[in-house]
Structure 1
């Protein structure tokens, strides 16, 4: 396990969120100048990432839980972590359902969602069972195995671009700031939270982490503008899977799959498994450390996966999924904005205690 692997995992987690959430939400949130909304999201993430890593750098070898316990005690830390746990569970359910539906729609049309979701959840269970250290080490192989699929699926439709759909480039009203879809997009911030739960040997500096975020920013712009340049704002805003459908605008007889969106589904599903595995590990680790220290962590993981699978079956359709996404955005804002700030304040408070 080394820092290159940790940076790679951070980038892949960012990419998983970008593909699952960003295109549809940014197109819905803004009628023009979509790059502004994306840039603001990533600028805010860089600020929060700096605060988060700054807090961790003050106490090498300590996790965010240990830092918070040192500042506020166990009960104060539990209160701070409860909304984060709610966010993690809701995000797990929504992402697992989204990926299962995508697999069913493109690859396994005749297969019921109960079957595709059980396969998806089982693979995520296996990843979380192995632990974060194994996931981090596997991230390099994951990168080289699936990034060619990602690049191919994202860039395959470039020859059909209509560049006049890019305009207007500037939206002076900033109306997207008042649109709920913009705040659903803050789920991309969740990718860096795992950094506070790794050992000091795998900690990375702000520069390396910012490089991973910056690289994912380029993909975020591609993910939003590719559907826009193909379909235009008036059409793209009504599409459920805009980036997926963008890859279906090209007909290549030499391709190994009959339908080009298969490339996109294979790559995005692999990234989804990676992200859900990490979020599951985080959820179980926090639950075990703060609320159930005497329970076996693998039993907690198994029970969480059963809940995850059953919850996926209770979502009737994609419309209900969207309503849950809006609900989860409130917990997401806490988990990805308030919680890193609280960790920074806890580190400052604990440092003053140590100095005194």
Structure 2
């Protein structure tokens, strides 16, 4: 049964959860004018990598990423899957820690961080333990409940914008390409689509629908940066840790019974982040299931990974260390998300040549 709609919805949700917090800060700090240029370049790379990745996977319709690499030998599998596992584990730990601090800053200032991390992790672990089928159904349910609220907040966030801040529209200097902040922004661009190689053949999808469906994300990338820039200006927006959240906090709706619309926006996006961390943890569970004895239950692997993630999360002292780990992890992210899609595409081409020669 074709489940392309579920895959597209989950793909959109997990990226929306990653876009509106650290990403605007990275882009605003990496360039002072014409922010659409680094956004468009990053998104173009995101789209090309998804195209290459899904094109290569389409040559192995009945196999997932683990099966593909293992059929070409264990050394090949280790070269590509070990860095992927390390990256996925690090990104889960740092993401949960970062969003726990965001939750604490906005509306749970008296709650200890370890409690927020634990609660977030327990929910993500529970979703992971249900399996990939239930995970995607949960994503569809989240979209039905929370996406209308996200759309409402985004529409209302244009309330205080000043369109004069759009100038200058062009920047002839591309110095942002070597800026560490722009490198960190790659987390939102292509930090969340590696799961596409693990869900087949359990979940079948049309690769073209996923590739074209990902174009829906471009307006969200643009709004995440331009709404705070249009609201405060470049100089002021660059002073905030979470410029989009601050911009949303300025919304004044007299007819709404709730004082702070920010709380609803944050709760919606945090649920998407939980979906992202659950999906990322599920990928690592799938890798460990191939490495560990079959006698070890999947639930034990989920518990063990969750415990290690919690230990790492609570041992990150402050936001400075979170930012450092995001920057450190960016280099491994580039390796993983550039080499795996290209290697799968090349292996698919080799496999097709061999099949054609055999006939």
Task: Give the TM-score of the pair, scaled to structure 1.
Answer: 0.95
Q: Secondary structure at the match of 2:62?
A: coil
| Aligned counterpart, 1:69 | 70
1:24-76: CA deviation from partner (whole Å, max 9, x where unpaired): 111111111111111111111111111111111112111111111222x1232
Matches within 5 A, 1:289-308: 289-290=290-291, 293-308=294-309
Q: Which residue of 1 aligns with 2:97?
A: 97
State the number of aligned residues: 355
Aligned to 1:339: 340
Q: Which structure 2 segments of 5+ residues have no match?
A: none
* Alignment partners' CA distance in 2, 1:256 and 1:308: 38
Q: CA deviation at 1:255?
A: 2.6
1:44 corresponds to which residue?
Answer: 45
Residues 217 and 205 (structure 1 numbering): CA distance in 2 closer, same or farther, change over 3 Å? Answer: same
Q: Structure 2 vs 1, CA of residues 196 and 246 (structure 1 numbering), >3 Å: closer, same or farther?
A: same
Moved more, 291-300 or 187-196: 291-300
**In structure 2, how many angstroms separate the alpha carbons of the residues matched to 1:23 and 1:203?**
34
TM-superposed deviation, 1:170: 1.1
Instruction: Tell me the residue number matched to 1:179.
Output: 179
The answer to whether the 8 A contact 1:226-1:243 is kept is: yes
CA distance in 1, matches of 2:54, 2:157: 38
- CA deviation digits over 1:155-192, x for unaligned, max 9? 32312111111222111111110111112122231322
In the TM superposition, what are the counterparts of 1:12-51 in structure 2 within 5 Å? 12-51=13-52
Q: Which runs of 5+ in 1 are unaligned?
A: none
Q: Aligned to 2:192, what secondary structure does the other structure show?
A: helix
Q: Is the 8 A contact 1:24 1:240 kept in 2?
A: yes
CA distance in 1, matches of 2:214, 2:185: 15
Is 1:140 equivalent to 2:140 in the alignment? yes
Alignment-derived partner of residue 106 in structure 1: 106
Q: CA deviation at 1:257?
A: 2.9
CA distance in 2, matches of 1:24, 1:33: 15
Residues 302-341 of structure 1 aligned to structure 2 (within 5 Å): 302-341=303-342
Distance in 2 between residues matched to 1:37 and 1:305, nearest whole Å: 35
Check 1:116–1:256 CA distance in 2 against 1; reply closer, same or farther (3 A cut).
Answer: farther
Report if aligned partners of 1:190, 1:335 keep a CA contact under 8 Å in 2: no
Cα offset for 1:102? 1.5
Q: Deviations over 1:102-147 (max 9, x none)?
A: 1111121111101111110000011111111111122221111111
Q: Mapping of 1:115-194 within 5 angstroms?
A: 115-188=115-188, 189-194=190-195
Between the aligned partners of 2:173 and 2:194, the Cα distance in structure 1 is 32
Provide the residue aligned with 2:85 in structure 1.
85
CA distance in 1 between partners of 2:228 and 2:294 (Å): 47
CA contact (8 A) 1:68 1:77 kept: yes
Q: Does 1:259 align with 2:288?
A: no
Structure 2 CA distance for aligned equivalents of residues 314 and 306 of structure 1: 12
CA distance in 1 between counterparts of 2:239 and 2:293 reads 45
Map of 1:198-237 to 2, 5 A cutoff?
198-200=199-201, 202-237=203-238
Kept in 2, the 8 Å contact 1:128–1:280? The answer is yes
Deviation at 1:248, TM superposition (A): 1.1
**TM-fit CA distance, 1:296:** 2.3
More moved, 343-352 vs 332-341: 343-352
Distance in 1 (CA, whole Å) between partners of 2:50 and 2:33 is 28
The two structures, once aligned, show a CA RMSD in angstroms of: 1.7
Q: CA deviation at 1:293?
A: 4.9
| Contact in 2 for aligned 1:97/1:312 (Cα 8 Å) | yes
How high is the TM-score relative to the length of structure 2? 0.94
Q: Distance in 2 between matches of 1:292 and 1:333?
A: 31
283-292 vs 104-113, greater mean Cα deviation: 283-292
1:282-335 superposed Cα distances (whole Å, 9 cap, x missing partner): 111112224555532221111111111111111111111111110000111112
